Structure 1
Amino acid sequence: MEPSLKEAVIADMERFRCRKDFYKRVGRAWKRGYLLYGPPGTGKSSLIASMANYMKFDIYDLQLSSISDDSELRRVLLATANRSILVIEDIDCGGDLPDRKTAQVCNNPKFCFRFHSITLSGLLNFIDGLWSSCGDERIIVFTTNHKDRLDSALLRPGRMDMHIHMSYCTSQGLKVLVQNYLGRDGGTHKLYGEIERLIEDAQVTPAQVAEKLMTSDDADVALDELLNFLMVKGGEATETTKTDSEIDEECD
């Protein structure tokens, strides 16, 4: 992660941890919601594990597709413990959540295919309604590859309080990865400067960079592999841009 973003997440969790009396005073459930969004392979699941390790919280992985209705959703919530992180991954991939009116008739295959009779209203109550007030010190984390597909009612503060964009690898992220996988020598390697120059425009994920760095314990081999990968990715981007430009000229 970018150091500034990492510090912001840590500061937010620390503020949440220390504000039990504040939540009680203002009459709100002692919970915090996070949305992690961005392309696949950018570290969303890894960040959740890091958050749990940092806070020393348990993790509950909730699969909405296995929940039959709102009542079962409530029972699942009641079964979770305090000081826990509840994870709903890929919230955009489960299908459509019917609203209150549509949910009254659940024989529509479009709405009942995967979520059965779970409603948007039920999910919202699950996040910040009466159901969420039955415990203390809880974190709810949603992940998605497509933030724009989510209902605006889910995105508002009180449900997804902090939105964390997990993006492609940058020079700062590269520096951390190289040091983690290759040690201090990686940052002073003769190939590092060229790799750092290419990384900003290549649009590669941290997972892809890490995979190349794992090819060998030898910094020469690993960084050469990464450099060749970035050069190929850059070539693909240039080729795609050129093709799009040519199409525009034809249209003109």
Structure 2
Amino acid sequence: MWEPTVFKHPATFETLAMEPELKEFIMKDLDTFVERKEFFENVGRAWKRGYLLYGPPGTGKSSLVAAIANYMRYNVYDLQFQSVRSDSELRRVLTSTTNRSILLIEDIDCSTKVTHDRTKANENSDEEDEDELKRPMGLLNFIDGLWSSCGHERIIIFTTNHKEKLDSALLRPGRMDVHIYMGYCSPAGFRKLASSYLGIKDDKLFGCIDDLIKSIEVTPAEVAQQLMISDEPRVALQGLIEFLNTKKKDTEEAATEEKVKSIKEEETEEKKVERENSELAESETRCIYLT
């Protein structure tokens, strides 16, 4: 059963290092959801909303969940899918959640077998694996099947680093209604972090940092870590620039190595084809000679 604990995460929409337009969209969508009880009743649908947060690690998915919980003032139920042993147990656990709550399932691609190889997986005859395969189906029934009517005003949030691994059965509207990409840090995200961590809204070094952030993939978590190095803004910003330059250099070197490797593989394949063609030509010549 659920084990209660006090939720005091400090994340809010104000502190999130996200694009302002995306924040506005999410808050507006949440507000609309709360205000549409009669609409859901009139159309015969359970009063719930499903969100998928996807993107690389360190891009703020968990912080966004906390911000949503604080904004809505909902209870959060963190479902550890691996700990559920059967479909019936899953039903008991899910139906025991309260109204006005958030059901959180993190790393859904690692927690279930609802992936693109679902058909192949169903061929497995092992009894334990079969139980694992039933649980995702039980989850789907809770999201938009008969179980979904057990309670109201619920938000279901899934997170994943690999959206492409999820089956379309889970991704479709009615289950994951809103897909939110949590990407790498942008100049706007950096400025929000600088304001939160250093208490500054502008600096001569911001332009240089903006250019570096645009040229490489760096997560908000990495930027925040560098800004925490010193309480002195100029020292922290200089450290961030050094980190970004190093990361850019490493990225360029890795890309160069990959390109060289690809060229070598192409050359090796070309030599292999030439050798096979040469051997074939010699074989044909010998055949003509013998004839």
CA distance in 2, matches of 1:56, 1:104: 44
CA distance in 2, matches of 1:92, 1:196: 33
Once the two structures are superposed, residues 9-48 of structure 1 have per-residue CA deviations (whole angstroms, 9 ceiling, x without a partner) of: 1111011010000000000000000000000110000000
Q: Which residue of 1 aligns with 2:237?
A: 223
One-letter amino acid matched to 1:9: I
CA distance in 1, matches of 2:98, 2:66: 17
Q: Which residue of 2 aligns with 1:107?
A: 126
| C-alpha contact 1:128 1:158 (8 A) present in aligned 2 | yes
One-letter amino acid matched to 1:137: E
| C-alpha contact 2:229 2:236 (8 A) present in aligned 1 | yes
CA distance in 2, matches of 1:222, 1:68: 48
Of 242-251 and 79-88, deviating more is 242-251
| C-alpha contact 1:70 1:117 (8 A) present in aligned 2 | no
| C-alpha contact 1:69 1:117 (8 A) present in aligned 2 | no
Q: TM-score of the superposition, structure 2-length normalised?
A: 0.80
One-letter amino acid matched to 1:90: D
Shift of 1:96: 2.2
Residues 102 and 244 of structure 1, relative CA distance in 2, 3 Å threshold: closer
Once the two structures are superposed, residues 111-166 of structure 1 have per-residue CA deviations (whole angstroms, 9 ceiling, x without a partner) of: 35xx6463432221021111111101000000000000001100000000000000
CA distance in 1, matches of 2:152, 2:121: 33
Shift of 1:53: 0.5
Q: Which residue of 1 aligns with 2:84?
A: 67
- Runs of at least 5 residues in structure 2 that lack an aligned partner in the other structure: 1-17, 268-291
SS of corresponding position for 2:134: coil
1:194 equivalenced with 2:208 (yes/no): yes
Q: Which residue of 1 aligns with 2:217?
A: 203
Q: Which residue of 1 aligns with 2:137?
A: 121
Q: Which residue of 2 aligns with 1:28?
A: 45
Q: Which residue of 2 aligns with 1:232?
A: 246
Q: Which residue of 2 aligns with 1:136?
A: 152
CA distance in 2, matches of 1:119, 1:60: 17
Once the two structures are superposed, residues 30-72 of structure 1 have per-residue CA deviations (whole angstroms, 9 ceiling, x without a partner) of: 0000000000110000000000100111100001100011111
The structure 2 residue matched to 1:9, chosen from 23, 26, 45, is 26
One-letter amino acid matched to 1:132: S
| C-alpha contact 2:108 2:158 (8 A) present in aligned 1 | yes
The structure 1 residue matched to 2:196, chosen from 155, 173, 180, is 180
Q: Which residue of 1 aligns with 2:63?
A: 46
| C-alpha contact 2:185 2:213 (8 A) present in aligned 1 | yes
Q: Which has the larger radius of gyration?
A: 2
CA distance in 2, matches of 1:123, 1:144: 16
SS of corresponding position for 1:47: helix
Residues 160 and 95 of structure 1, relative CA distance in 2, 3 Å threshold: closer
SS of corresponding position for 1:142: strand
| C-alpha contact 1:33 1:159 (8 A) present in aligned 2 | yes
Of 199-208 and 41-50, deviating more is 199-208
Residues 101 and 68 of structure 1, relative CA distance in 2, 3 Å threshold: farther
Once the two structures are superposed, residues 63-105 of structure 1 have per-residue CA deviations (whole angstroms, 9 ceiling, x without a partner) of: 1100011111110111100000000000011252596997798
Shift of 1:219: 0.4
| C-alpha contact 2:76 2:102 (8 A) present in aligned 1 | yes
CA distance in 2, matches of 1:151, 1:224: 44
CA distance in 2, matches of 1:154, 1:116: 16
1:245 equivalenced with 2:259 (yes/no): yes
Deviation beyond 4 Å, 4+ runs, structure 1: 97-106
CA distance in 1, matches of 2:240, 2:38: 50
Q: Which residue of 2 aligns with 1:171?
A: 187
- Runs of at least 5 residues in structure 1 that lack an aligned partner in the other structure: none
Q: Which residue of 1 aligns with 2:283?
A: none
CA distance in 2, matches of 1:173, 1:207: 11
SS of corresponding position for 1:33: strand
Shift of 1:245: 2.3
CA distance in 2, matches of 1:97, 1:17: 29
SS of corresponding position for 2:92: helix
| C-alpha contact 1:100 1:121 (8 A) present in aligned 2 | no
